Amino acid sequence: MAKQTVKIGIAEDQTLFRQGLIQILNEFENVEVIVEAENGQEFLDKIESCPVDIAFLDYKMPVLNGARTASQISKRFPETKILFISMYNEEEFIVSAIENGANGYITKDQDVDEIELAIDSIMSTGYYMNDGTSKLLIGNLLSNGKLSPTFKSDNKLSDLELTIIKLICEEYSTKEISEYLHKGIRTVEGMRSNILKKTGAKNSNGIVMYAVKKGIVDI
């Protein structure tokens, strides 16, 4: 069976960078850029009628910036994954991206291979973390009070759900978790949905933050 094509949308106000990124992405196997926009509002308008699997967002854009665009995508198009590709690698930008629902964050000076790795990871695990968005950084942000996500605390997690959380933190894909636990993929997906509901996390990044904050995993 042929691998499904990953549909990409790009919101980036720098024309030369946007066109170069489109050319690079379209050369990847099973990847196609189907939407491009110069700002967040234009991007939101376009994906209304042309949905994408992954939204590549610049951080600073006119009209509607990356953080506000990500927030709207999370609310209106929850199936769309969000990858920031930005020139900024400071904590404040990474924190803002994560808080607004980003599934990954990379900088514009990364190698082409890392972009392809980020796409593969987001499609298979729901998120991508490099050194800039590692569990260690999340742990530091939480301990310094710079990242204060609100989670639900009234729903007890089962031992199996805790195991799945730990595997997600180790970047296991749904398929790998399924094989590790000897459970069907749909069963694992259902349990992951339950974990999101119980914790109040929005995505896998949120699950990692929950695990670090609650001491479920060591950093």
What pLDDT does residue 33 have?
Answer: 97
What pLDDT does residue 162 have?
Answer: 94
What pLDDT does residue 15 have?
Answer: 95
At 196, which CATH number? 1.10.10.10
Q: Which residue has 């930008």 as its token pair?
A: 93
Domain annotation covers residue 218: no
Which pLDDT band, with edges at 50, 70 and 90, does 56 fall under?
very high
| Domain shared by 25 and 52, yes or no | yes
Secondary structure of the chain as H, E, C letters: CCCCCEEEEEECCCHHHHHHHHHHHHHCCCEEEEEEECCHHHHHHHHCCCCCCEEEECCCCCCCCHHHHHHHHHHHCCCCEEEEEECCCCHHHHHHHHHCCCCEEEECCCCHHHHHHHHHHHHHHCCECCHHHCHHHHHHHHHCCCCCCCCCCCCCCCHHHHHHHHHHHCCCCHHHHHHHHCCCHHHHHHHHHHHHHHHCCCCHHHHHHHHHHCCCCCC
Measured over the CA atoms of residue 131, residue 136, residue 138 and residue 142, the dihedral's sign is negative
What pLDDT does residue 57 have?
Answer: 97
| Domain shared by 48 and 120, yes or no | yes
Question: Position 63: which residue type?
Answer: V
Domain annotation covers residue 108: yes
Which pLDDT band, with edges at 50, 70 and 90, does 147 fall under?
low
Range from 101-110, 144-153, 197-206 carrying the lowest mean pLDDT: 144-153
What pLDDT does residue 213 have?
Answer: 82
| Domain shared by 60 and 17, yes or no | yes
| Domain shared by 46 and 146, yes or no | no
Answer whether 195's CB lies under 8 Å from 161's CB: yes
Which pLDDT band, with edges at 50, 70 and 90, does 2 fall under?
low
| Domain shared by 118 and 153, yes or no | no
What are the backbone dihedrals phi and psi of residue 154, each rounded to the nearest 5 degrees, phi first? -100, 0
- Expressed as residue numbers, the domain containing 185 is 141-213
Last residue of a domain, one of 133, 152, 175: 133
**Six-digit token pair at 124?**
């298979």
Rounded to an integer, what distance in angstroms lies between the CA atom of residue 162 and that of residue 207? 11
User: What is the mean pLDDT of the segment spanning 82-86?
Assistant: 93
Instruction: Flag whether pLDDT at 72 surpasses 80.
Output: yes
Instruction: Flag whether pLDDT at 9 surpasses 60.
Output: yes
Last residue of a domain, one of 133, 168, 186: 133
Residue-wise pLDDT tens digits, 165-194: 999 888 788 899 999 999 999 999 999 999
What pLDDT does residue 137 have?
Answer: 60
Q: How many domains does the chain have?
A: 2
Domain annotation covers residue 16: yes
| Domain shared by 28 and 114, yes or no | yes
| Domain shared by 194 and 117, yes or no | no
| Domain shared by 162 and 181, yes or no | yes
